[in-house]
Chains A and B, each alone.
Chain A
């Protein structure tokens, strides 16, 4: 009896904690979304109430659509994020495979070197990066952003993935070698599917800072044609007046694509976990 009661009170407690956390995490997001559908006055008068007949307005969205080319900004953000994630996963997984699979001189040192970026923020190198981009003529291109974000994401990716790849059974890889699979096939066909949950995790960790970044788009690619959503939204924030309707609308819209990407990756995460490795 006591164990049953314990488990009930346990689960009530844990659900309470989780609900509280969910509430805290979702509160700002919900606030942004509901206020984006209200008139400017209503936003300030009662920021916490949902829009009603009287206060409902889509003026923010209209401004956003009129001002600048938001579809293009979205496209830029998506391209930069998706391509960067792709390269981070590809190069990260390759480096992690080499580090975990092959014994060579300086293996540990190389691993440490590649992980160093976790502790040193890439923004410290902004000036040299800008000089580099100017010298190579990459300023105001999406390529510049993709290169920087790939570099930014790699250290953590390599660190996480090599831990996971260590755990992939050595016998499995050896069985592949005996069956005549090349090292590339072993990497793609055997190891990558088994570390899929880790890949999804890395993708999510990589995605959010890239999508939200304002710094590098502002410095490396501020031109109209290469603006990202985060940078594009800044036009509504002035030093003296801020068009809150437009800012909130832009932010609400910016949530959607990341949300979609997140859902895709977390599917991978779950199916990877339930596929079950074979011992």
Chain B
């Protein structure tokens, strides 16, 4: 229970085409993450799945049933919003039970579900409060609790953590991962944050220009990006792109090497340059090397590493780590 299939979903707002044919299938119990640059249509796609927006063309199937014209409440889904969207005039308890009341469930069942959810998210002490009396993290937990009580087969999250501070974000991320294990429901999660995407996802969907660029496990995307966009989007610091002819490969348009796959050596490197800037992050060190006629190349060294600005350096690529792309940006 909880599989989702999207068939050729298209969406335009007036003259602007936002989604240009999305085909995707999500299997039961999977944790799927949508990532992509701002404005690429992630939220729009999620809202189409939720039924809050009608697709201009295409079909949405949940558990192999066509739900394209079914209203949101009847799709067996729950959604958590970036802005929490709690009902300001209702207590936490009422916020969580509203959907069930609306569905004419018995008092007993509502009570039971609310208790279970508040146990799961440690909301017990907050049940009588209004949303205005909660902190941001607590509000987001209530919003997640409101989704849980409905026991949906499909959870939709639209950037649920982006209004939280860094520490809370990590904590809530772990909580969501735990929920996914315990509830074994299908979850679709939209985020800007690469770490969230990499740590939570079974599979990641990379969107750009209203099209799916690649779908795969986090490691597939990291190791085997199909095109320049995915290669550049996944991983921080960004992958270095170097024109092929600089490296003696004239029939390759671009060579991509991840910063962590380059090492600084005395001599005999693929490239030669001077160190322009060093960032010490504690666990690792980013070194910016400018080579003649190139964008600065970033080198990531694990642990502490000391090198002077202005020092000359040779760059050696780890074996088989360089990815080759053709003129259209596709992998060769």
Complex Cα spacing A175 to B52, Å: 10
> CB of B139 within 8 A of chain A?
yes
- Whether the pair A175, B79 counts as a contact (CB closer than 8 A) is yes
Complex Cα spacing A172 to B50, Å: 14
- Whether the pair B102, A194 counts as a contact (CB closer than 8 A) is no
Q: Which of A181-218 contact B (CB under 8 A)?
A: 181, 189-190, 193-194
- Whether the pair A278, B86 counts as a contact (CB closer than 8 A) is yes
- Whether the pair B85, A181 counts as a contact (CB closer than 8 A) is no
**In the complex, which residues of chain B have a beta carbon less than 8 angstroms from the beta carbon of A194?**
88
**In the complex, which residues of chain B have a beta carbon less than 8 angstroms from the beta carbon of A171?**
81-85
- Whether the pair B73, A190 counts as a contact (CB closer than 8 A) is no
- Whether the pair B73, A179 counts as a contact (CB closer than 8 A) is yes
Size class of A's contact patch?
Answer: 20 to 34
CB distance from A141 to the nearest CB of B (A): 39
> CB of B87 within 8 A of chain A?
yes
**In the complex, which residues of chain B have a beta carbon less than 8 angstroms from the beta carbon of A179?**
73, 98-99, 102, 146, 150
**In the complex, which residues of chain A have a beta carbon less than 8 angstroms from the beta carbon of B35?**
none
CB distance from A78 to the nearest CB of B (A): 30
> CB of B78 within 8 A of chain A?
yes
Q: Which of A132-180 contact B (CB under 8 A)?
A: 169, 171-172, 174-180
- Whether the pair B88, A178 counts as a contact (CB closer than 8 A) is no
> CB of B39 within 8 A of chain A?
no
Most chain B CB neighbours (cut-off 10 Å) among A169, A176, A279: A279
- Whether the pair B83, A178 counts as a contact (CB closer than 8 A) is no
> CB of A238 within 8 A of chain B?
no
**In the complex, which residues of chain A have a beta carbon less than 8 angstroms from the beta carbon of B144?**
none
CB distance from A176 to the nearest CB of B (A): 8
- Whether the pair A172, B98 counts as a contact (CB closer than 8 A) is no
Most chain B CB neighbours (cut-off 10 Å) among A179, A194, A275: A179
- Whether the pair A181, B132 counts as a contact (CB closer than 8 A) is no
Nearest opposing residue in chain B for A193, CB measure: B89
**In the complex, which residues of chain A have a beta carbon less than 8 angstroms from the beta carbon of B99?**
178-180
- Whether the pair B81, A174 counts as a contact (CB closer than 8 A) is yes
CB distance from B28 to the nearest CB of A (A): 21
> CB of A30 within 8 A of chain B?
no
> CB of A276 within 8 A of chain B?
yes
> CB of B256 within 8 A of chain A?
no
> CB of A264 within 8 A of chain B?
no
> CB of B131 within 8 A of chain A?
yes
- Whether the pair A178, B82 counts as a contact (CB closer than 8 A) is no
Nearest opposing residue in chain B for A177, CB measure: B72
**In the complex, which residues of chain B have a beta carbon less than 8 angstroms from the beta carbon of A180?**
73-74, 99, 102-103
Nearest opposing residue in chain B for A178, CB measure: B72
Contact partner of A279 among B71, B83, B89, B146, CB < 8 A? B83
In the A-B complex, list the 9 residue pairs whose CB atoms are closest, starting with the nearest.
A180-B73, A179-B99, A171-B85, A175-B85, A180-B102, A171-B81, A278-B88, A278-B131, A178-B72
The 21 sampled A-B contact pairs (Cβ below 8 Å) are: A169-B83, A169-B85, A171-B82, A171-B83, A174-B85, A175-B79, A175-B87, A175-B146, A178-B50, A178-B52, A178-B77, A178-B99, A179-B98, A193-B88, A194-B88, A275-B132, A276-B88, A277-B88, A278-B86, A278-B88, A279-B84
**Residues of chain A at the chain B interface (Cβ within 8 Å):** 169, 171-172, 174-181, 189-190, 193-194, 275-279
Extra A-B contacts (6), CB below 8 Å, given A171-B85, A175-B146, A179-B99: A169-B85, A172-B86, A175-B86, A275-B88, A278-B88, A278-B132
